[in-house]
Structure 1
Amino acid sequence: MRRIDCLAAIYDELTECAVVTIMGAVAAELYSLGHRANFFYMEHSMGLASSIGLGIALAQPKRKVVVVDGDGSVLMNLGGLTTLARYAPPNLTHLIFDNESLLSVGGFPTATSTGSDLALIARGAGIPNAREVCDLDEFAQAATAAIEADELACIVAKVEAVGPASFHMDLHLLENRFEFPRALRLPEQAPLPEAPPRPEPRAATPTTRQPTVAGPAHPEPS
């Protein structure tokens, strides 16, 4: 099973979701299917996609949030699973594509290639609805059901170690950074929290300028 086929199978389900992806191949493949303003391609913060997704899910409990992750990223921040379990937002679905390698940086094998089970680790962290799938139809059914349900879910999809032909994305990171928050500010969603009141500026303290006192003159050299 290929990751790009999995993403294509659930692409229509992501229309109204806040979607956070990891960097590299996952972001490039989702972008190749068609960019949407509600997609955020996290760059340069490996392992933190689930943390960003958790923050969005807690801030906007009426919005479905989908985190598109990878085995390498999850293994770099296993504590993220325990944090998800601690808060257990019912509107968050965590999709982990496990190709048993760090494909985007050379294909080095990860711990899942030698027996580590991410679904089992997620359940041990406290996420009961965590499962592994190895078939495209099974993935599509599991992911769709998880997105539509009101329960924190973790779906680990075992995929081939095959990436995109190109990692190029014709979208500036700064543009994505501003576009994504705007997409989350839709009227039917929970409003963003108000900014805290600014403190009153302090009055300037008047100062008295001291007169400059000339020092002793230096004697002329003889």
Structure 2
Amino acid sequence: MAKLNKLQTATLPDAVLDRRQAVPALIENPDDFLMIAGLAGTAWEMSALTHESPRLFGLAGAMGAAPMMGLGLALAQPKRRVLVATGDGELLMNVGALATIALQNPPNLAIICVDNGHYGETGNQDSHTGLGVRLDVIATGAGFPVVHVVNTEADMAEGRRLLREGNGLTFILLRVKEGPATHEGKKNLVPHIERDRFRAALLG
């Protein structure tokens, strides 16, 4: 198999943030949101951050599903702020979702993509973003009205503000260095249990 070439795109600075600190620092208060977490690292991180809150639907499979689940939830619950947290690998699996979400343009939806440039669950191979693909540029081209890149601690405050006060569909690319996610969250993300817990919390 031929070796993949690194794309000659406008590059971002090397990632310096540790995801285990950066994800909770950006989200800060998860009780402000209804949340969908993509599979693997983000599901563990969000579970740990929320202390297994029933307001979180964490995925253990269905790679690529989190953004579209978030869209459906945002459309169904227009008065609630909806947050999707996913990884670069999962978003690349269904990158066309960004176009559909932008066309629907729900103002109560925010998407965080935790981008470490690797497929952490399958051997830590370089992902497309590790080879130069820019998901923030794709989100802008798809039509997201608000796109923000968090590269350093200095970018965090604006990211936190946009999650809550952006008053529009928001995409935040959280760039983190290579390294493991926290595994302090739920040990078993059983789909039907997640569904039932989330539904009960949502409907009261």
Q: Give the match for residue 91 of structure 2.
A: 74
Letter matched to residue 9 of structure 1: A
Q: Give the match for residue 35 of structure 1.
A: 52
CA shift for structure 1 position 12: 4.1
SS of the counterpart of 1:19?
A: strand
Q: Does residue 136 of the first structure (1) align with residue 136 of the second (2)? A: no
* Whole-angstrom distance in 2 between the partners of 1:36 and 1:157: 23
- In 1, are the aligned partners of 2:19 and 2:177 still within 8 Å (CA)? yes
Letter matched to residue 15 of structure 1: D
Identify which of structures 1 and 2 has the higher relative contact order when contacts are C-alpha pairs closer than 8 Å and 6+ apart: 2
Letter matched to residue 40 of structure 2: G
- In 1, are the aligned partners of 2:81 and 2:108 still within 8 Å (CA)? yes
Q: Give the match for residue 184 of structure 1.
A: 202
CA shift for structure 1 position 144: 3.4
Question: Aligned pair in 2 of structure 1 residues 165, 58: CA closer, same or farther (>3 Å)?
Answer: closer
- In 1, are the aligned partners of 2:60 and 2:189 still within 8 Å (CA)? no
Superposed, which structure 2 residues align to 1:1-222 within 5 Å?
A: 1-33=17-49, 34-164=51-181, 166=183, 169-173=186-190, 174-186=192-204
TM-score scaled by length of structure 2: 0.84
Q: How many residues are aligned here?
A: 186
SS of the counterpart of 2:121?
A: helix
TM-score scaled by length of structure 1: 0.77
- In 1, are the aligned partners of 2:45 and 2:183 still within 8 Å (CA)? no
Question: Aligned pair in 2 of structure 1 residues 140, 24: CA closer, same or farther (>3 Å)?
Answer: farther
* Whole-angstrom distance in 2 between the partners of 1:84 and 1:11: 21
SS of the counterpart of 1:106?
A: coil
Letter matched to residue 125 of structure 2: F
What is the alpha-carbon root mean square deviation over aligned residues? 1.8
Larger Rg: 1
Matched residues, percent identical?
31
CA shift for structure 1 position 14: 1.7
- In 2, are the aligned partners of 1:47 and 1:75 still within 8 Å (CA)? yes
Gaps of 5+ in 2: 1-16
**Moved segments of 4+, more than 2 Å:** 10-13, 143-149, 164-172
* Whole-angstrom distance in 1 between the partners of 2:108 and 2:144: 14
- In 2, are the aligned partners of 1:20 and 1:49 still within 8 Å (CA)? yes
Q: Tell me whether 122-131 or 65-74 shows the greater mean CA deviation.
A: 122-131
SS of the counterpart of 1:105?
A: coil
* Whole-angstrom distance in 2 between the partners of 1:135 and 1:43: 29
Gaps of 5+ in 1: 187-222
* Whole-angstrom distance in 1 between the partners of 2:180 and 2:54: 23
